[in-house]
Amino acid sequence: MYVLFLVILLAIFLFNLVVYKFEILSPPVLLSFMFFFCAFVGIIRYDDWRLNEYYGFTVLVIVSGILVFCLGGYLGSACRLNYLKKNEPIRHSRIELDRLCTVVFIIIGISGNVIFFYYVRKMVLNLGYAHNGISQMLYSYYIIKMKLQNVGDNNIPYFANVLNRFVTVNSVLCLYIFLHNICFRKYEKKDLWLLLIILFWPIQSIIKSGRGDILVLLAESIYLMYFFWNMYYGWNDTVNNKIIKWGSRIFGVFLISFIILAIVLGKRNSFAELNVKEYLTKYISVGIRNFDLFLKNPVRSDFFGQETFPGFHRILYNYLVLEYK
């Protein structure tokens, strides 16, 4: 059944690729590729994950969901306006970030990360967790978050929270300007200050003992390059080739940094302890396997939305002190 599942996913991906004229970042193409890629990597764990027992109903549910998503994409493409079919290049002039804004953004980035670092240190010490070294301290904070011990009296200070949000927004804005100037060939050396502001976001993510924001940053970078290059070159195959080239490089850098950060954040003590095959297959493909196990033996909820809406319940608990933690 799992082999058939892979064949179906590959067929959907290739069909979308042809329909969308090899636009690699068209949502249906990207979605179908990601499902196929995740399922394909899972073959490495075929025996110990018992993928030979894969459930036919799981295949039906996943494939149906993909097809429904793709149907929306097909309808959107069929209804697109005529002017979108024109291939004339669009060339933008350079975007400048005011010098004062640059200075303010740098101050916010430094102060926001420093203040949050000291908050993390304070929480780890106050709650009696291990803190021998930065990596162990960050991992301890990760455990604190998972146990929801950073709420109530231990909640993030309001000022630190506001600064964190500004760090994210400032970084996204500077990412837009930085890539815009590069893709439209308007880059100047002073744009390196923008790169510094952008880096405050992944640094903040590391201090929070997380890596998700780094993946978001890379995904946003690829999409921004995709749109800017398409505008510059007039929506042709040149851009797809560039995206495949740079996207594969960025993905490679991400995988390496993802593994390194596992050590930096204390989630593994050393590279010798890290089983790369197990680690990467778990992060890339375990969702494909776990969904099958869930459908075979669903988790029974004690109350409505226990598994489906954990974020919603966390908000109710944190801000309204409602019962469900």
Q: pLDDT per residue over 211-245, tens digit each?
A: 788 888 988 998 899 889 989 988 777 788 888 88
Residue 325 pLDDT exceeds 70: no
- pTM, two decimal places: 0.76
Residue 12, classified by CB atoms within 10 Å of its CB into exposed (0-12), middle (13-18) or buried (19+), is buried
Q: Measured over all CA atoms, what is the biggest interatomic distance in the chain, rounded to whole angstroms? A: 63
Over residues 58-85, mean pLDDT: 81
CB–CB of 49/42 below 8 Å? yes
How would DSSP label each residue in 249-283? HHHHHHHHHHHHHHHHTTSSS-TTT--HHHHHHHH
pLDDT at 268: 65
Over residues 113-124, mean pLDDT: 90
Q: For residue 62, what pLDDT band results from cuts at 50, 70 and 90?
A: very high
For the record, the structure tokens of 33 come out as 């590729």
CB–CB of 205/212 below 8 Å? yes
For the chain, give the mean pLDDT: 85
Q: Which tens digit of pLDDT belongs to each residue from 264-308?
A: 766 666 666 667 788 788 888 999 999 999 999 887 777 777 777
Q: Which of 217, 225, 265, 259 is nearest to 242 (CA)?
A: 225
Q: Which tops the pLDDT comparison, 238 or 140? A: 140
pLDDT at 320: 77
Residue 181 pLDDT exceeds 90: yes
For the record, the structure tokens of 290 come out as 């776990």
If you search the block for the tokens 């004339």, which residue do you land on? 88
Distance CA 138, CA 51 (A): 35
Q: Which tops the pLDDT comparison, 10 or 81? A: 10
Residue 309 pLDDT exceeds 90: no
Q: Which of 97, 105, 109, 249 is nearest to 188 (CA)?
A: 97
Return the SS3 of 8.
Answer: helix
Q: For residue 60, what pLDDT band results from cuts at 50, 70 and 90?
A: very high
Distance CA 160, CA 119 (A): 8
Residue 85 pLDDT exceeds 60: no
Of 6-20, 134-148, 195-209, the range with the lowest mean pLDDT is: 134-148
CB–CB of 268/274 below 8 Å? yes
Q: Which tops the pLDDT comparison, 1 or 131? A: 1
Of 160-174, 196-210, 232-246, 289-303, the range with the lowest mean pLDDT is: 232-246
For the record, the structure tokens of 52 come out as 């030979």
Q: For residue 83, what pLDDT band results from cuts at 50, 70 and 90?
A: very low
Distance CA 314, CA 293 (A): 25
For the record, the structure tokens of 188 come out as 């100047």
Residue 317 pLDDT exceeds 90: no
- Residue 287's CB is within 10 A of a number of other CB atoms, namely 14
Distance CA 45, CA 8 (A): 20
CB–CB of 9/2 below 8 Å? no
pLDDT at 273: 65
For the record, the structure tokens of 323 come out as 């019962």
CB–CB of 70/28 below 8 Å? yes
pLDDT at 199: 94
pLDDT at 7: 96
Residue 169 pLDDT exceeds 60: yes
- Residue 11's CB is within 10 A of a number of other CB atoms, namely 12
For the record, the structure tokens of 21 come out as 């004229």
Return the SS3 of 322.
Answer: coil
